[in-house]
Structure 1
Amino acid sequence: MIPRSALLLGLAGLIPFVWGAATTLSPALASGAMRLVPPVFVGAVVLVTYGTVILSFMSGVLWGFATKAEGREATVGYVLSVIPALWAFFMVTDTTAESILWLATGFAALLALDFSFARQGLAPAWWMRLRVLLTLIVLACLLVVLL
């Protein structure tokens, strides 16, 4: 079972993704929001900005999992753990459809890395249930912007 605090905080972490998708789908909502908050908190901009932050954050999480390994397994874990942050840095450069597609690809690849760390027993038993749920919602939000 996913710990309640991890589930609640994980779901709360989806708010900027859902907000970005909602303000992309509704020009009226976006217009109203921009009277209250800077443009960086609306539409594709919030999705890309927050998405790159989360990919970098997840690199740190994977690094933490790698610390549970030893020898070659640890080295491979450390190398793999930096990929999401580097991916975001080099591939997500603006709010174009191409960058959003690269961001979505990064989240899909992150899920594959999560599976790898979980399969090695480096992640908690409940980890994949949480990660699949969160990743599907993130990808749906990013795809909304692409459509």
Structure 2
Amino acid sequence: MNDIPRSALILGLAGLIPFIWGAATIILPDLALWGQMNLSGRFIGPYVQLFYGAVILSFMSGVLWGFATKATGQIATASYILSVIPALWAFFMTGGGPTTAAVNMIVGFLGLLLLDWHFWRLGLAPPWWMHLRGLLTAIVIITYLPLVF
């Protein structure tokens, strides 16, 4: 983890806060009640996790698009096509109730990790990219588990 730029690590970890908060409000009913009273239902439980997860998958599509700009020819074309998959996945797969949507989000983040690896293997992502993405993805998936089980 020492090779990840400090700012990228701190911002990446800060980006986990809504996922962790959402999981905490599922596991701890008193926290959910506090959140409902002080923040609204939109910012607790599955609502915050699923909405924010869709935002992050869409954001990551933009990151991958940026990586695609470093490629040329057919690799660039394929990279641009691959880069839009996380956003489309989030758009089409977050319906059907919280459990189904959470499973689909887990699959989406695992698929994103494969795309991260692909772009990294092509040399389009920074050398430290997979260390950061592996850590963040593992934590995101763990936070969805209370919705699934």
The corresponding residue for 1:77 is 79
**Secondary structure of 1:49 counterpart:** helix
4+ runs deviating over 4 angstroms: none
Q: Which of 83, 87, 90 is equivalent to 2:89?
A: 87
Give the aligned partner of residue 104 of structure 1. Answer: 106
Which amino acid in 2 is paired with 1:89?
F
Residue of structure 2 in register with 1:143 after alignment: 145
Read off the aligned partner of 2:10 and give its amino acid letter: L
1:34 CA drift (Å): 1.1
**Are the equivalent residues in 2 in contact too, given 1:45–1:95 (CA < 8 A)?**
no
How much has 1:144 moved relative to structure 2? 2.1
Structure 2 residue aligned with 1:114: 116
Q: Deviations over 1:105-145 (max 9, x none)?
A: 00000000000000000000000000000000000001122
What is the number of residues matched between the two proteins? 147
TM-score if structure 2 supplies the norm length? 0.97
Q: Mark the runs of 5 or more structure 1 residues left unpaired by the alignment.
A: none
Q: Percent identical across equivalent pairs?
A: 57
Instruction: Please tell me the root mean square deviation across aligned C-alpha atoms, in Å.
Output: 0.8
SS of 2:125 mapped into structure 1: coil
Specify every segment of 5 or more residues in structure 2 that has no aligned partner in the other structure, as ranges: none
